[in-house]
Chains A and B, each alone.
Chain A
Amino acid sequence: MVGRTGGTLSLSKPKFTINSMKPNSKHSRPLIHAALAALALAALGGLVTIAQADDSKPAAPKKLTGAELYAVNCNRCHPERYPTEFNSAQWQTIMIHMRVRANLPAKQAKEILKYMKEESGN
């Protein structure tokens, strides 16, 4: 739920800000050093992570078929419709409707239509 009451949003300020580190403070220099050291460690950790990722590159995702794209996109909003429920011409019409309504990319819509027409049996 949204944390909102009485029609007004309440955003609390963060307790610690960069401005809270006063330059004249005795401890400013050690704090800066510590911060720089932390940054350096974080950068080193990031580089190690990237290097490890390079060593074990995940396989490129395979191109999804029309049936797979149908499963991914259409079931988001409604139960599965069987290809045999409509004929090829009707699927062609319905796919334009769904491409617009669901904002499907053209390539995906064409792959799904190809699958539905092939499986419609007529």
Chain B
Amino acid sequence: MKNHFTPRFISSAAASFVLGLVATTPATAAVSDEDFNALKAMVQQLQQAHDQDQKQIQTLQQQLGETQTLATNAVEKADAVAVAQATPPRNALHNFTMVGDAEIQYAKTYGNGTHNGFELADFAPIFLYRANDSILFEAGFDIMLQNNSASGTNYYKGVAGNSYTHDSGSSTSVSLSFAQMDYLVNDYVTFVGGYMLLPLGIYAERNAGWLNKIPDDPLGVEFLPGAGAGAQLRGAFPIGESGQMLTYSVYAANGPSSVDGTGNAYTLDGNGNRISNLDLGGNVGIQNDGNNGNLHSAPSGGGRIGWFMPWGGAGAHKDLELGVSGQTGSWDDAGSYMWSALVLDGALHYGPNFEVKGEYIDTMYNTADAGTIRPWGAWVQAGYKLAGLDWDMPIISDIELVGRVDKENNGLNGGLGAETRRYTMGYIYYITNTLLFEGDYEFIHSCMPGSSPLTANQLIFQLSYGF
């Protein structure tokens, strides 16, 4: 085979290579120094920008990390708060609440020689301690400063001859109204134990100063024990979804007792005056000698059944409540004589501005020397809020007119005992929803066989506050 790489071919290729080099050299040399420097400056600027971006990215990454840490901490704190709320601390003050009422009274009594004056200052706190969602301890006290002059319902307290001296002075008392434990056993049964308000009628459990629309108690309720030491089961059964319900209370409590232990109608006090032997308060607690304080033979039993029916819808404020209650048990030490009570109660609201309520109280107790004594009483009370007139006058609209008719007979002296009739009219001015200024005038007439009739009308003003 013939060799094609001849010397002539090699020289031609070398010449072409040299020409090529010569031809390309002028193209490289065409970039000027200015362009080069500009390009270099641009590269340097880009480099600086890149460095700044890197730094900014690092800063942002750092801030992102801190934000994530904060978010994580916040979530942990929120979780901790949720756990804490789910299991509230057993702080003694956390579940402690105080409610109650306070009153100031000014009275002018006509017809029995007394002068007008501030006759009462009352502070009645109720301490509530919730141990858990089912157990509540509650205790109510009455701290009162009261003039010892004749006032209120102190008419013929059982016997004639009671009188008040001019300088009888004032007294301060601290009394225990109730002290009880409430245990919500289930939706329908609540156990109550201790010194309880007794559900004899509706007044005993709903008579706080700012709830009662007239400053003093209705006649007749003084024949009932307002509270008693014992145990109680109570609850309510709803009927349908309209708010209607049946309520019940059944209890055993130390009932009324005998002052001297006998079943006699009367006994003598420390001054030798004849007084009623019936002690409605009963004997409570342990005596100084360590014996059981309940001297009479056995606890009394009692209860109340009530029916509550609203109608016309929630905004109508129309409802009716009816109840029957009673208590019976022996009151002397030997257990030979019984004390019993029957109370019928009713309350009607017809619209948001009108209400009427009342009770009929019938009690009786057998005695060794005076047969059966039957103290009884009845009261009816009505109120009308002038807001119902739609007069668009704020002061007028904050007034409620009230009236009451009540009567009682203590049943002593063979059923012809002291009888009192009273007619009361007045007003309530609602300064706020819990601060009330009340004024009432009472026409009072009492009579008792062998004594002159007593007329002692009374004007009462009361400032009461519920808290």
Contacts and interface: CB of A to CB of B under 8 A. Distances in A.
A79 B241 contact: no
B236 A100 contact: no
A64 B206 CA distance: 25
A7 interface: yes
Nearest to B232: A100
A68 interface: yes
Interface string A1-29: 11010111000000000000000000000
A71 B317 contact: yes
Interface string A91-122: 01110110111011111100000000000000
A6 B416 contact: yes
Contacts of B289: none
Contacts of B411: 7
A69 B242 CA distance: 9
Interface in B288-342: 306, 310, 314-315, 317, 319, 321
Contacts of B433: 79-82
A69 B245 CA distance: 12
A8 B362 CA distance: 11
Contacts of A103: 234-236, 245, 247-249, 306
Contacts of A97: 99, 126, 128, 136, 138, 182
Interface string B428-445: 001001101000000000
Interface residues of A, number: 42
Nearest to B430: A79
A100 B130 CA distance: 13
A92 B133 CA distance: 8
Given A7-B374, A62-B241, A104-B236, A96 B182 contact: yes
B187 interface: yes
B241 A75 contact: no
B236 to A, nearest CB: 4
B97 interface: yes
Given A61-B241, A63-B241, A64-B314, A100 B234 contact: yes
B242 A1 contact: no
Nearest to B207: A77
A90 interface: yes
A49 interface: no
B409 interface: yes
Interface string B183-216: 0101110101000000000000110001100000
Contacts of B352: 75
Nearest to A103: B247
Interface in A37-81: 61-65, 67-69, 71-73, 75-81
Contacts of B371: none
Contacts of A62: 241
A62 B315 CA distance: 13
Contacts of A71: 314-315, 317
Interface in B120-161: 126, 128-130, 133, 136, 138
B133 A94 contact: no
Contacts of A6: 415-416
A100 B190 contact: yes
B241 A1 contact: no
Contact of A77 (B211, B240, B436): B211
A108 B95 contact: no
A90 B236 contact: no
Contacts of B416: 6
A120 to B, nearest CB: 13
A6 B434 CA distance: 41
B294 to A, nearest CB: 24
List of 3 A-B pairs having minimum Cβ-Cβ separation, nearest first:
A68-B314, A106-B187, A103-B247
18 contacts: A4-B378, A61-B240, A64-B242, A68-B315, A75-B317, A81-B433, A82-B433, A89-B95, A93-B128, A96-B184, A97-B128, A100-B182, A100-B190, A100-B192, A105-B237, A106-B184, A106-B188, A107-B187
